[in-house]
Structure 1
Amino acid sequence: MYDETASLFEIDEPAPSPNVIVPPPIKTEQVQAIRDAFERAGVARQDDRKTLIESVVVREVASLRELKAIEARRIIQRIEGLHSSTAVSTGSAWDNREEDTWIDRL
């Protein structure tokens, strides 16, 4: 009555597909590009760098060498976006506005 080979809770693991594409590892040039981008953005603390990288790849990363090439491109884009979004403010919000208002056109 009881067949041990056909258990209700044992699930056979599917065989790995031969068509799985493994992304290439990060290149030396990309590692340097990430470091240069951090320098341009003014991110000097290692903890800040690690937090930013992990927020992009959504996993823990102990070293830049653990990254994949595609992840490096996304990290560089995020760093450059961070750098470009930090505008220097020299006055009030009114002084730093980008568009003219009707008052400016009078």
Structure 2
Amino acid sequence: MHDEASSLFEIDEPSPSSDVLAPLPIKPEQVQEIRAAFEKAGVESQSDRKALIESVIIREVASLRELRAVEARRILQRIEGLRSPKAASTGSAWDNREEDTWIDKL
């Protein structure tokens, strides 16, 4: 009966294949970008760099070469956030708006 139920829709069991895409390893250019971003942000300590990377990718790594290509962009965005902190807002959201409204143009 179990065989009949599985053949009801004529669905074959998926066979393991090598077509399944594994995450691409980090590219040498991306490693250089990350290193340059750390230098610009003033993050010199290897332990600080490692902690920042591991906080972004939520796993431990021993070196930049263990990263995946898709993780590099998220790491770079976090490092950029270190370099350009937002100015402290004073006043209301109306006072801190960045663009002029039609009222301002009157």
| Normalised-by-shorter TM-score class | 0.5 to 0.7
- The aligned counterpart of 1:62 is 62
- Identity in percent: 66
Structure 2 gaps of 5+ residues are 1-13, 97-106
Whole-angstrom CA distance in 2 between matches of 1:17 and 1:57: 27
Amino acid at match of 2:27: K
* Post-superposition CA distance 1:30-82 (Å, at most 9, x none): 00000011011111111000000001111110010000110111101110112
User: Is structure 2 residue 56 aligned with structure 1 residue 48?
Assistant: no
How far 1:17 moved relative to its partner?
5.6
* Post-superposition CA distance 1:73-104 (Å, at most 9, x none): 110111011211176xxxxx7xx84847xxxx
- Report the number of matched residues: 80
- The aligned counterpart of 1:10 is none
Q: TM-score, normalised by structure 2?
A: 0.64
**1:26 partner SS:** coil
Whole-angstrom CA distance in 1 between matches of 2:24 and 2:65: 11
- The aligned counterpart of 2:103 is none
Structure 1 gaps of 5+ residues are 1-13, 88-92, 101-106
Q: How is 1:17-96 mapped onto 2 (pairs within 5 angstroms)?
A: 18-85=18-85
**1:72 partner SS:** helix
Whole-angstrom CA distance in 1 between matches of 2:59 and 2:15: 26
Aligned-CA RMSD value? 2.4
**1:85 partner SS:** coil
